[in-house]
Amino acid sequence: MPQAAYIVFGWLFTAAVSMAAGRMMLWRMGIALTRTEAAAFAFLLGSAVVSQVTFVLAASQLLYKGVLLGAGVAILGLRRWIGGGAPEEAEFDAGPRWARVAAGALAIPFLVLYLSNAMAPETSPDGATYHLGLVARYYRERGFTAITTNFYASLSQGMEMLFLFAWPFGRHSAGALVHLNFLAALAALVVCYGRRFGFPVAGLAAALAVFVTPVVGVDASSAYNDVAVAAVLFGLFYMVRLWDERRTSGSAAAVGVLAGFAYAVKYTAFLGAVYAGGYLLWRMWRKPREMARACALVGAMAAIWILPWMIKNAIIVGNPVSPFGNRIFRNPNVHVSFEEKYAAHMRNYGELESNWAIPLEVTVRGQRLNGLLGPAFLLAPIGLLALSMAEGRRVLLAAALFTLPYAANIGTRFLIPGLALWTLAMALVLSRWRPLVVVFVTAHAVSSWPDVLKRYAEPYAWALDRMVWRASLRIEPERQFLEEHWPPIQVARMIDELVPEGKRVLAWDGQPLSYLKRDVVVTHQSAYGERLERILWTPLIPELQPTRVLRFTLPGKPVRRVRARQSASGTVDQFLVSEMRLLRGGRELPRRSTWKLRAWPNIWDVRDAFDNNSVTRWASWERLRPGMFVEVELPSPTVVDAVVLEMPDEQTEARPELEWEDAEGRLTAIGGYAEHTGPPPLGMRQDAMYAVKAAGVDYLLVFVEGFGFADFNGKQQQWGIRHLSERMGYHLYAIR
- The residue ranges that bind another protein (CB under 8 A) are 247-249, 252, 290, 293-294, 296-297, 299-300, 303, 307, 310-311, 313-315, 318-320, 329-331, 549, 581, 583, 586-588, 590-598, 603-604, 606-607, 610-614, 633, 644, 646, 674, 676-680, 682-685, 687, 690-691, 717-718
- Closer to another protein by CB, 300 or 439: give it: 300
- Closer to another protein by CB, 80 or 587: give it: 587
The residue type of 192 is: C
- Closer to another protein by CB, 561 or 625: give it: 561
| Rounded Cα distance, 295 and 299, in Å | 6
- Closer to another protein by CB, 248 or 490: give it: 248
Whether the CB-CB separation of 703 and 508 falls below 8 Å is answered with yes
Torsional sign, CA 598, 601, 604, 609: negative
Minimum CB–partner distance for residue 261 and another protein (Å) = 16
Minimum CB–partner distance for residue 540 and another protein (Å) = 12
Residue 598's DSSP bridge partners are: 631
| Rounded Cα distance, 405 and 333, in Å | 24
Minimum CB–partner distance for residue 306 and another protein (Å) = 10
Cis before residue 648, ω within 30 degrees of 0? no
Minimum CB–partner distance for residue 644 and another protein (Å) = 6
What strands, in cross-sheet order, belong to the sheet with 519-522? 519-522, 504-507, 699-703, 730-735, 721-727
DSSP reduced 3-state for 636: strand
- Closer to another protein by CB, 587 or 666: give it: 587
Composition of the chain by helix, strand, coil, percent to 5: 60, 15, 30
Minimum CB–partner distance for residue 667 and another protein (Å) = 18
Minimum CB–partner distance for residue 160 and another protein (Å) = 21
Whether the CB-CB separation of 160 and 134 falls below 8 Å is answered with yes
The 8-class DSSP code of residue 382 comes to: G
| Rounded Cα distance, 676 and 679, in Å | 10
DSSP assignment string, 195-248: HHTT-HHHHHHHHHHHHH-HHHHHHHTTT-SHHHHHHHHHHHHHHHHHHHHH--
Question: Minimal CA–CA distance to 554: which of 681, 667, 718, 474?
Answer: 667
> Between the CA atoms of 685, 690, 691 and 694, what dihedral angle is there, to the nearest 10 degrees?
160
The two beta strands, 548-553 and 628-639, are unpaired
The residue type of 708 is: G
| Rounded Cα distance, 376 and 378, in Å | 5
Minimum CB–partner distance for residue 257 and another protein (Å) = 13
- Closer to another protein by CB, 61 or 612: give it: 612
- Closer to another protein by CB, 97 or 592: give it: 592
| Rounded Cα distance, 451 and 340, in Å | 40
- Closer to another protein by CB, 226 or 339: give it: 339
In the chain, DSSP finds a helix count (H) and a strand count (E) of 26, 17
- Closer to another protein by CB, 122 or 605: give it: 605
Minimum CB–partner distance for residue 342 and another protein (Å) = 20
Minimum CB–partner distance for residue 595 and another protein (Å) = 5
Task: Report the chain's terminal Cα–Cα distance, integer Å.
Answer: 45
Whether the CB-CB separation of 27 and 86 falls below 8 Å is answered with yes
- Closer to another protein by CB, 351 or 588: give it: 588
Question: Minimal CA–CA distance to 714: which of 729, 693, 731?
Answer: 731
Minimum CB–partner distance for residue 705 and another protein (Å) = 25
- Closer to another protein by CB, 344 or 674: give it: 674
- Closer to another protein by CB, 584 or 723: give it: 584
Minimum CB–partner distance for residue 603 and another protein (Å) = 6
| Rounded Cα distance, 60 and 138, in Å | 11
- Cα 302 to Cα 159, 195, 247, 515: the distances in Å are 16, 28, 18, 34
Minimum CB–partner distance for residue 294 and another protein (Å) = 7
- Closer to another protein by CB, 190 or 284: give it: 284
- Closer to another protein by CB, 246 or 454: give it: 246
Minimum CB–partner distance for residue 633 and another protein (Å) = 7
DSSP reduced 3-state for 732: strand
Minimum CB–partner distance for residue 572 and another protein (Å) = 25
